Amino acid sequence: MTPPTILQTSPRMYSNNKNVEQLVSLLKAHQVHHAVLSSGSRNSPIIHSLARDPSFTCHTVVDERSAGFYALGIAQCTGETVAVCCTSGTAALNYAPAVAEAYYQQLPLIVITADRPAAWIGQMAGQTLPQPGIFNSLVKKSVHLPQIASAEDEWHCNRLLNEAILAASRRPPRPVHINIPLSEPLSEPAAAPEVRKISYSRPPVSSFGNYGERFLKYRKRMIIAGQSREPALSQALNDLVAMHDCVALAEHLSQIPSALLIHNFDALLYALTATEWPQYAPDLLITVEGHIVSKRIRQFLRDNPPAQHWHISPGGEVVDTYQCLTDVVEADGVDFITYLAAQKPENLGDKSFSAQWLAPSLCMPEPDVAFSDLKAVGALLKALPPDVNLHLANSSSVRLAQLFRPAGCPRIFSNRGTSGIDGCLSTAVGGSCVSRKLTFLLIGDLAFFYDMNVLWNRPLKPNLRILLNNNQGGEIFHSLPSSGNSAVIDKYIAVRHTTTAKAWAEDQGFTYLSVSNDSELQTLMPAFTATHSTRPILMEVFSSKERNVEILRNYYTSLKTGTGK
């Protein structure tokens, strides 16, 4: 029998609160390296213990809502489990948007909330509310640690912590919540304990039953790869499409640059007529990994349902996005796609279904338009240096970017778990702080100004580049079919404004670039995308909301008239 792993740390480094000692020692034992900390008194024992241990890289973000997304950005960039810690009371509630996003992106966050002793909840004590279970179904596991007064309490605390930390990274990874009640005195150092680390292993899958035989039975086969952080998926799908007659669809967020996969399928479907849609519909649909931005592909498959839809789900979740699910395959996506690729095709030369999709896809023109948000997005994606990180904010930014094939094969991120605008900037800043690569963010004005509080946290690295499309409001609301009264849209929904980022950006140490026309865009883009800079750079692009909507509509209309076929 293998003995438990015991970690001994330096003496008199941690708080004398025994549950804090267990917490910090086990974070270290489970190889958690990054901790995002928001200041407070109740969580000061945890902050003292983490900050004094060189095993942890600590990041200070005062605003807890921003801190949650900052931690999410670190998890996106590194693929590691990240701890985020705050004081008691309403501070904990501010984590909720980031926790929800991490849950649906399947990112491993350990959310640590300090708490008052249970006796003081509901007794008009400051910063108290019932914290155990506050994130409810948005976390994979929630534990409320005991205050340790006996050997059994210590065993109980150790077991709960191991369970929570393991759950965060066990597939599918998701956030967990550790609530830790602390009594005064709060931060006297004490000797670190020996801790028991519990380990977890998942044996590989050796067989997938008769799925290979069933796969070969269908002629019109389609694979949709959603948002992914799995680099091996690209090669597996490439092998599958090369060997079999399969249509493979992937947006930028799937991280799959292969020319064999179709990335502009949303525009392609728009160019087709309603009578042509059924000819392009699959008999077998296989979905793997996460979310898809395109609403059009969802409608296409709901209107033309395949005979079979297999969803590859490592955790066994039932996800029926296209309303035609027949099989949940509880397996690793790369393993399953590799297994299918290894099946011997019956008609090796038959590529009729994939050719039916690939031919019009290759003929689809990218937008070549006048100065606008769309023009700025295309200019940035075409000018990206090799090997960079690109964050796409929600709403128009992520949708417009899909219309271009980016240069340099960037690694692309976006908060598509819940698709909110509230933490896009914080996520990108968090990602930039743990990466040596240039980190670009494409963001609109409402998303930027909502979240700009993160920019006064220090230090900001010079690898950060922000392209801010400022059209004085939420442009996307003017392009919706139910726009209604323009005055109401401007005042209450699109929130028309005259705010600029110049003073704020310069005050926070950014190099600030202002663009108001095509000539300035072309002139300043090389400076914005330069690989070397001593300061972060913000380029603010000013455009007309009405003109932006018109240009985008004209581009889609040109696809319908035949230039996109």
pLDDT attached to residue 126: 66
CATH 3.40.50.970 boundaries in the chain:
12-197, 373-563
Helix, coil or strand: residue 168: helix
pLDDT-derived band of residue 280, with 50, 70 and 90 as boundaries? very high
Question: For residue 119, what pLDDT band results from cuts at 50, 70 and 90?
Answer: confident
Question: Could you tell me if residue 282 is left (phi over 0), alpha (psi between -120 and 50 degrees) or otherwise beta?
Answer: beta
Q: Which CATH number fits domain 373-563: 3.30.70.1070, 3.40.50.970, 3.40.720.10, 1.10.3720.10?
A: 3.40.50.970
**Binning pLDDT at 50, 70 and 90, where does residue 3 land?**
very low
Kind and range of the H or E run holding 216: helix 211-217
Type of residue numbered 144 = H
What number does CATH give the domain 211-363? 3.40.50.1220
502-557 tens-digit pLDDT: 999 999 999 999 999 999 999 999 999 999 999 999 999 999 988 999 999 999 99
Please give the Cα distance from 490 to 159 (Å, whole number): 54
More confident residue, 129 or 13: 129
Q: Where in the chain is the domain with CATH 3.40.50.1220?
A: 211-363
Q: Inter-axis angle of helices 518-528 and 373-383, to 10 degrees?
A: 30
Tally of CA atoms within 13 A in the half-sphere of 116 that contains its CB? 17
pTM above 0.75, yes or no: yes
CA 525 to chain CA centroid, Å, is 26
Confidence tier at 2 by pLDDT (50, 70, 90) = very low
Q: Residue 9's pLDDT is what?
A: 45
Fold of 12-197: Rossmann fold (3.40.50)
Cα 364 from Cα 394, distance rounded (Å): 24
Tokens of 552: 């985008």
pLDDT per residue as tens digits for the range 306-335: 999 999 998 888 889 999 999 989 889 999
How far is Cα 318 from Cα 329, in angstroms, rounded to an integer? 10
Cα separation of 336 and 430, whole Å?
Answer: 33
Per-residue confidence (pLDDT) for residue 195, from 0 to 100 = 83
Averaged pLDDT for residues 74-101: 96
Q: What is the 3-state secondary structure (H, E, C) of 340-399?
A: HHCCCCCCCCCCHHHHHHHHHHHHCCCCCCCCCHHHHHHHHHHHCCCCCEEEECCCHHHH
Report helix, strand or coil for 159: helix
Per-residue pLDDT, averaged over 78-87, amounts to 96
Q: Which of 434, 446, 442 is CA-nearest to residue 471?
A: 446
CB 248 within 8 A of CB 537: no
pLDDT confidence band for 253 (50 / 70 / 90): very high
Region 80-109: mean pLDDT is 96
- 416 near 290, Cβ under 8 Å? yes
